[in-house]
Structures are given as C-alpha cells and as structure tokens.
C-alpha cells in the first residue's frame, strides 16, 4: 500500500492498481456512529492512479490562483512519495 495523503492510498494486487479514498463522514448510521466512506477506482498501473488522484484534487480549485497553488503542492507531494 502506498499512502498518498490522509485520504488517498494506492493498493496493488499484481494485475493492476486501485486508488482508494477513505473518509469519516458526518452522516451517522442507525447506532449514531460516524460512517466511514470508501470509494475505489481501478487502473492498470501506478502512473494512471497518480494521474487520477491529480485530476480529483484539482477539481476542487475554485479559481486560477488556487489551481496553481494546488499544482505546486501536488508536484511536491508526488516527488516525496516513496515509490
């Protein structure tokens, strides 16, 4: 497992890679406990997973200055990953 940040990891299984998003949501289940939300996206290799992660991260930028700041942060984050 490769941890990208607090919410995203990449898991490999020998046939491909999975970009995994995990987050505790405010929505509560019937017992009143916080709900853990997980979403998985499947790709052929780590490069495709990282491209998908970048795309998902950049979607939340609201303007050009914020987009440029996020790009700089992503470049640093990816350079520091232990591949």
pLDDT in tens, 35-45: 788 999 999 99
What residue numbers bound the domain in which 50 lies? 2-79
Domain total in the chain: 1
Asked whether the predicted pLDDT for residue 72 surpasses 80, the reply is yes
Taken as a whole, the chain contains a residue count of 83
| CB proximity list for 53: less than 8 A, separation 6 or greater | 4, 8, 19
CB of 27 within 8 A of CB of 39? no
Model confidence, pTM? 0.79
Per-residue confidence (pLDDT) for residue 28, from 0 to 100: 66
- Classify 49 as helix, strand or coil: helix
Average pLDDT over residues 8-36: 84
Per-residue confidence (pLDDT) for residue 29, from 0 to 100: 63
């Amino acid at each position: 497992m490769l941890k990208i940040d607090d919410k995203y990891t990449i898991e490999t299984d020998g046939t491909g890679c999975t970009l995994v998003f995990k987050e505790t949501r405010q929505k509560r289940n019937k017992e009143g406990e916080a709900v853990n939300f997980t979403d998985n996206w499947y790709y052929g290799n780590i490069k495709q997973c990282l491209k998908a992660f970048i795309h998902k991260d950049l979607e939340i930028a609201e303007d050009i200055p914020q987009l440029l700041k996020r790009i700089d942060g992503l470049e640093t984050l990816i350079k520091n990953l232990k591949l």
